[in-house]
Amino acid sequence: MFEVVVYFCSMANTEDQFKRVISHAKEYGYVFQSSDIYDGLSAVYDYAQNGVELKKNIRDYWWKAMVQLNDNIVGIDSAIFMHPTTWKASGHVDAFNDPLIDNKDSKKRYRADVLVEDYCLKIEAKINKEVLKATKRFGENFNKEEFLATNQRVLAYQEKINSILKRLGQSLEKEDLHDVKQLIEELDISDPLSGSKNWTDVKQFNLMFGTKLGASSDSAMDLFLRPETAQGIFVNFSNIQKTGRMKIPFGIAQTGKAFRNEIVARQFIFRMREFEQMEMQFFIKPGTQQHWYQYWKEARMKWHLSLGMQPENYRFHDHEKLAHYADAASDIEFDFPFGFKELEGIHSRTDFDLKAHEEFSGKKLQFFDHEENKSYVPYVLETSIGLDRMFLAVFSKALQVEELENNTTRTVLKLPAVLAPTKAAVFPLIKRDGLPELARGIVDELKWDFNVIYDEKDAVGKRYRRQDAVGTPFCITVDHETLENNTVTIRQRDSMSQKRVNVKDLKAIISEEVDVKHWLKKI
């Protein structure tokens, strides 16, 4: 039952890893392509038996941190369908566009800004290569920060990235689509699939999905599927403030589906057409937005770090180009298998949304401040994270291949235990002598507190590997000694260490590792 110790662990940040992530997610019941038997639907995915649990655990982890632990934040679950004027007021009808460009030869459509950003990622890869070379050359004496700040080649690459992104930001801000095309041509960017450089002009494309409400064609009302959950919060601002007797500053949080007709919907669950958001709008006194912007940037980064993934996986990207509603914005970017990309947005939305809804609805959306003895339209600080992107972040970092001392490898999904779909698997060593009954008894006891499973198929070593690959933090084995003294072996997924414990202590041992409190207390 004993295993050899790990001496080396690797999983390169490459295309191969990304392919492995996608196939592992399918093979182990995490994510399937939607309508798989009909060859799938592009950029739409279904969460399978393990995926749905991981997703629920991420959602709960967010909800607990935002709503349960903050006495001035409450939740809401607003409808996906909203009055169509909502989207006029929010600016989505007029300004929720992406710049698209078609390749005339391949007939493929791309987001013009993404083509330019991907070009910059290639330059960034060159910087990483220089760092790697220098790490090898200087060994332990290597000082990465100093190298990045002084190496001439790296500085030139960085300078190039900065100037390209600056120009892109400015052109998009001014809606100068002609210059975006010119930039693509100057950088000599080709179609990533065909290599052709025969581009059309850049055009704007609205991302909202339209639908109809009502049976008869003349009375039917044109609706949109919501492209973000935030507006459901804004239109309920007064209802919640009054019924909840909320005082500024206070927040309203919501998780739920959003829909976007994305032009480039690739990269698995990173960019989907139907996805889930976890958003919180924090209503504040005008003039305090800088303070709360810094506060929520820090708070959200701490939430990410509490999950134990290395700090190098995260970075802030402060926006040059601001959306029409924002006076400051930053992304928390994560090092996905295809490089650093946006995981969460923190936006200082000013009073844009509430003012616009006041104007379009004719209803007051204000707060009476007793201290100041006056009413005002609050400012808003938003935190907005994609649940599916968070899933991909956690899942892709967790998937590792470890080389063991006896020249074998194991595939292990090192999910933070608090998020793992199944917390423990219980095995009888063999299928007789009353061991299966004892093991099932343990499952029946533990299942009131945790997701646990019973497995008796194959040798124990094989069962361990199966649970490693699916991400189960604990394996509990019942053997003949259990019959004598009620003790079992408990094996830890990451260290593979095993110890003998009393059955009555199992609940406490597992709780210690998987309890939300234990993780969130680190914040």
Are 155 and 130 spatial neighbours (Cβ–Cβ below 8 Å)?
Answer: no
Annotate each residue in 80-99 with x if it binds ligand ATP (CB under 6 A) or - if it does not, as one string: --------------------
> Which two three-digit tokens encode residue 232?
């459901």
Among 345, 378, 416, 436, binds ligand ATP (CB under 6 A): 345
Q: Is 253 a residue that touches ligand ATP (CB under 6 A)?
A: no
Nearest approach in angstroms of CB 331 to ligand ATP is: 7
Query: Closest separation between CB of residue 433 and ligand ATP, Å?
Result: 51
> Segment near ligand ATP (CB under 6 A), from 19-27, 135-143, 271-279, 365-373?
271-279
- Cβ of residue 64: shortest distance to ligand ATP, in angstroms? 19
Q: Is 384 one of the binding residues for ligand ATP (CB under 6 A)?
A: yes
CB of 390 to ligand ATP, least distance (A): 7
Pick from 24, 92, 181, 271 the residue near ligand ATP by CB under 6 A: 271
Number of H helices, E strands in the chain: 18, 24
Give the nearer residue to ligand ATP in terms of CB position, either 390 or 429. 390
Pick the closer one to ligand ATP by CB: 260 or 423.
260
Q: Tell me if 386 contacts ligand ATP by CB under 6 A.
A: yes
- 292 vs 367, which CB is nearer to ligand ATP? 292
**CA distance readout (Å), 105 to 118, 180, 245:** 20, 20, 60
3-state secondary structure of 215: coil
Tell me how far CA of residue 500 lies from CA of 108, 142, 485, 491, in angstroms. Answer: 59, 44, 11, 9
Residue from 275, 292, 293, 296 touching ligand ATP (CB under 6 A): that is 275
Taking alpha carbons only, the member of 7, 518, 93 closest to residue 306 is 518
Structure token pair of residue 172:
């998009």
The residue type found at 512 is: E
Which of 283, 293, 280 has its CA nearest to residue 238?
283
Nearer to ligand ATP, 345 or 421 (CB): 345
Interaction of residue 389 with ligand ATP, rule CB under 6 A: yes
Residues across the chain: 523
In order, the DSSP letters of 14-75 are SHHHHHHHHHHHHHTTSEEETTGGGT--TT-EEE-HHHHHHHHHHHHHHHIIIIIT-TTEEE
Q: To the nearest whole angstrom, how small is the minimum distance from the Cβ of residue 55 to ligand ATP?
A: 12
Please identify, among the stretches 115-123, 169-177, 384-392, 441-449, the one whose residues bind ligand ATP according to the rule CB under 6 A: 384-392
- The residue whose Cβ lies closest to ligand ATP is 386
Q: Does 300 bind ligand ATP (CB under 6 A)?
A: no
Interacting span for ligand ATP (CB under 6 A) from 69-77, 343-351, 479-487, 510-518:
343-351
Of 21-29, 56-64, 193-201, 272-280: span binding ligand ATP (CB under 6 A): 272-280
What CA–CA distance (Å, rounded) separates 220 from 211?
Answer: 10
Binding ligand ATP (rule: CB under 6 A), the pick from 263, 272, 490, 514 is 272
Q: Which is nearer to ligand ATP, 241 or 277 (CB)?
A: 277
List, as one string, the DSSP characters of 325-341: T-SEEEEEEEEETTEEE
Q: Is 344 in the site for ligand ATP (CB under 6 A)?
A: yes
Per-residue tokens: 244: 């909840």
Whole-angstrom Cα distance, residue 254 to residue 243? 17
Per the CB < 8 A criterion, the answer to whether 343 and 385 are in contact is yes
- The site that binds ligand ATP (CB under 6 A) totals a number of residues, namely 16
- Residue from 53, 351, 388, 402 touching ligand ATP (CB under 6 A): that is 388
Give the residue ranges of DSSP H helices in 268-334. Answer: 289-306
Compute the distance between CA of residue 293 and CA of residue 239 in angstroms, rounded to an integer.
25
Task: Return the number of the residue (91 or 507) whose C-beta is nearest ligand ATP.
Answer: 91
Q: Which two tokens stand for residue 54?
A: 């991981």
Which candidate, 327, 326, 324, 305, places its Cα nearest to that of 314? 305
Ranges within 451-490 binding ligand ATP (CB under 6 A): none
CB 196 within 8 A of CB 87: no
In the bound complex, what is the minimum distance in angstroms from residue 319's beta carbon to ligand ATP?
A: 9
CB of 262 to ligand ATP, least distance (A): 5
Q: 231 CB contacts (<8 Å, ≥6 apart)?
A: 82, 86, 87, 90, 353
> For residues 183 and 343, which CB has a smaller minimum distance to ligand ATP in the complex?
343
Stretch that binds ligand ATP, among 152-160, 267-275, 367-375, 462-470 (CB under 6 A): 267-275
Distance CA 281, CA 230 (A): 7
Question: Which parts of this chain interact with ligand ATP (CB under 6 A)?
Answer: 228, 260, 262, 271-272, 275, 277, 342-345, 384-386, 388-389
